[in-house]
Amino acid sequence: MRKLAVVALGGNALLRGNEQGTIEQQEANTTATLENLVYLIKDGYDLVITHGNGPQVGNILLRNDAGEQLYNISSMPLDVCVADSQGGIGYMIERMMRNVLLKHNIKKEIITLVTMVEVNPDDPAFQNPSKRIGKIYSSEEAEQLAKEKNWLFKPTSKVKGGMRRVVSSPEPLSIFNKDTIETLVRQGNIVIAAGGGGIPVYQDENTLRTLDAVIDKDKASSLLANQIKADEFYILTDVPYIYKDFGLPSQEKLEFLDYKDTMKHLEAGTFAEGTMAPKIKACLRFVENGGQKSVITEATKLEDRSYGSKITMNYE
C-alpha cells in the first residue's frame, strides 16, 4: 500500500530572506527544495505539495498599488491576488518539479489547482484583524485609504510612524475539490494545491462569496492532509528539528514527541508563538484527527528519515 504525504513548503523553499526575489532566484531555490522530494517518491510516497505565498502576494499587492496610482488601472481585491499567487507559484513549482523528475527518469503527471477554502464569515478572527499585508504607508496615506476603501491599518515596527493594512485570518473549515485532489494523488499524480492557505470563501444562500482575509498556510495544509486521509504530514522549514528554548543556552533538540508532551510544551511557552508554535499546532491537529505522523524538518534532511522532529499521538 503506497503512503500518501502532504508536504508544506515553507517560505524559504522559494525565496531566501536576503534575496531580491527574481524569478531566477526563486526557480533555483524551488529546484533545490524539490530535489529532496525525490527521496519520498522513490520510497513509494504519493505527494500533495502545498506552499506559502507571503513575499509573492505582497509583491502583487505592491503592483496593484503602483498600477492604480500611476496608470489608473483598477486594483484587484485580495482574493484575486491570492489566486494570482497560487497560479504563478504553482506553475513555477510544477515546471521545476517536471525538470527534477526528468533528471531522475521518473514518470509522473503533475497538476496545479487554484484552491478555495471554506471559512465561517462569523469567525471571531473577523472581530480582530491582525495579519499585516502589503506595503508600509504613512499615517496620512493610511487614513485616506481607510476612508476610500474601508481598510483597517495598524502600526508596523519596521518604519517609525509607518502603517500597514491588516486583514483577518479565519480558521479553515473545508478544502474545495478535496475529493478530486485525493483521487488524483491516489492515481499516482503529484498535486499542488492550497497555495498560500487557499482563497477564503463562504456560501451565502445560493452565492459563493469571498472576504478580505488570508488563511494560515500550515493550518490549511494540515486540514487538507486530514481530509484526503494522508498518512503523513511534512512541514519543511529552515531548521532540521524543533528545539526547546531555541537560541538560548538551554536549547534542546526535540526529536520524538507525542501529543500529550507536545501540548505541555506549547502551554509552557516553549515554542515561539510567531514562528514555530503555529507549525506545531498544525502538526498536532493532523495527528489528533487521524494522521499517523507529522514531521518538521529541513528539506535537505529528507534523504535520511532519522532526521526531523516527529509528532505522533503516542510513542511506545
Residues annotated as catalytic are 11-12, 131, 217, 279
Q: Which residues contact 28 (CB under 8 A, 6 or more apart)?
A: none
Task: State whether residue 149 is helix, strand or coil.
Answer: helix
| DSSP letter, residue 11 | G
Q: CA-to-CA distance for 201 and 117, rounded, in angstroms?
A: 6
CA distances to 12, 145, 155, 245 from 152, in Å: 29, 9, 11, 35
| Residue ranges of E strands in the chain | 3-9, 45-51, 110-112, 116-118, 131-137, 152-155, 163-167, 174-175, 190-192, 199-204, 207-210, 232-237, 242-244, 252-254, 256-258, 293-298, 309-312
Indicate the DSSP class of residue 299: G
Report yes or no: 173 and 118 within 8 Å, Cβ to Cβ: yes
Running DSSP on this structure, what letter comes out for residue 168? B
* Distance, CA of 237 to CA of 294 (rounded, Å): 13
Q: Are 241 and 255 in contact (CB under 8 A)?
A: yes
Q: Mapping DSSP to helix (H, G, I), strand (E, B) and coil, where does residue 271 land?
A: coil
What is the rounded radius of gyration, in angstroms, for the C-alpha atoms of the chain? 20
Residue 149 CA to residue 134 CA, distance in Å, equals: 14
Nearest-angstrom CA–CA distance, 259 and 283: 9
Q: Which residue from 205, 247, 200 is spatially nearest to 219, judged by alpha carbons?
A: 200
